[in-house]
Amino acid sequence: MAAVAAAEPAAAGPMRASRFHLSSSPRLLWSAIALLAILLAVSVGLGLRPGQRKITQEDIDAAVLKTMETQVMPSEYARAYENIRPSVVRVISYIKKSRLLPDDVPHGKPAAAGARPKALGPAKPTVAQATPDDDEEVEHGVGTGVVIIDKGVILTNLHVVSGSDRIKVIFFDGMESEATLTGTQPENDLAVLQARKIPDDMIAATMRSTNDLAPSDKVLAVGFPFGIGPSASGGIVSGLKRVFRSPEGKQEMSNLIQFDAAANPGNSGGPLVTMDGEVVGIVTAILNPTPARTFLGIGFAVPIENAAAAAGQPPF
C-alpha cells in the first residue's frame, strides 16, 4: 500500500500526460472515427449489413402497381399509332384538265353510289373551267399509302392513282416527293409506288402474318379520311375470308378482312394494324348501300400477304 501511496503524488505531476486517452488527442479521435466509417462502408458494400432483405417478386409487383396507379399509361391504340405513324404517307394523284372529257364533268348530278373508299371526291372542273388547251393539273384522287420497304416502296389502292398523270406522296415529316407507279394487282385494287426521294430517317412498316388473326382482335386503321389526317380509328376484326362485290358489279374481291374501325373516302390504301403497330391489311373498301359513300360499320382490307405479293416481296 505504501508503494501505491508514494506513486500517487508523482502521477499528479507533469508525467500524467503520458497516459493514453483518445479524448486527449483530437487527431487520434478523428482518425478512429474515419476508420470505423470505412469499415462500415465496406461491410455494407459486401452485403454484410445485418438484417438486409432481398427484393422479392412481391416487391416488384407492388412497385409496378404503384406506378400504374400514379402515372397515366398510353393506351394500346396510342402505342400502335406511334409505331405505324412514321410509315404512313398521304397519296395525291393529278390529271391534266385537257384530258377530262365533257362526260367527266358532274353537271350538278349526284355521285353514283359507291361502297369503296374511293379517291376523295375526284376534283373535276366545271364546264366553264374545262378548256381543251389548258394543261393545268387538277386533283384527281386522294388516299393513303404505307411504306413497306425503307427505300421508298409504298403500297396504296389502285383506284387512288389509276389514270393519273402525276402522283405525289407526303411523308410523316412533311417531305413531298413525286412517285411513279411500278406495279399493280387489279384483282385486289392494289398499286405499288416508288418515291423519288425519301426522308433520311425513313422507317418501313412491319408486316405480320394474318394466320393467327381472329375475330375480336383489336385493330387500328390509319389514313386521311376526307383529306383530314393523319387520322386513327380503332376497332376489332369482325370477320375473315369475306367476299366483296363493287356496287357496279365490275369487280369482286375475296379473302378480305372485315373490320369495324371507321374508314371513309381517303382511307383508301391505308394500313390496318394490330396493337403492336404491325400491318395485317390494306384498307380497300367499305360497305354502304346508299349514295353517301360513308362508313356504316363494315370495312374491308386486303390481307398483307396479298398486298406484299403485289410488290413482289415476301411479306415476312
Active site residues: 159, 189, 268
All residues at 6 or more sequence positions from 305 whose CB lies less than 8 Å from its CB, including other chains: 209, 210, 315
CA–CA separation, 271 and 242 (whole Å): 18
Residue entry with cell 399509361: 73
Nearest residue to 142 via CA among 54, 2, 266: 266
Tell me if 236 sits within 8 A of 215, measured CB to CB: yes
Q: Which residues pair with 96 in a beta bridge?
A: 137
CA–CA separation, 227 and 90 (whole Å): 9
CA–CA separation, 164 and 178 (whole Å): 13
Tell me if 308 sits within 8 A of 182, measured CB to CB: no
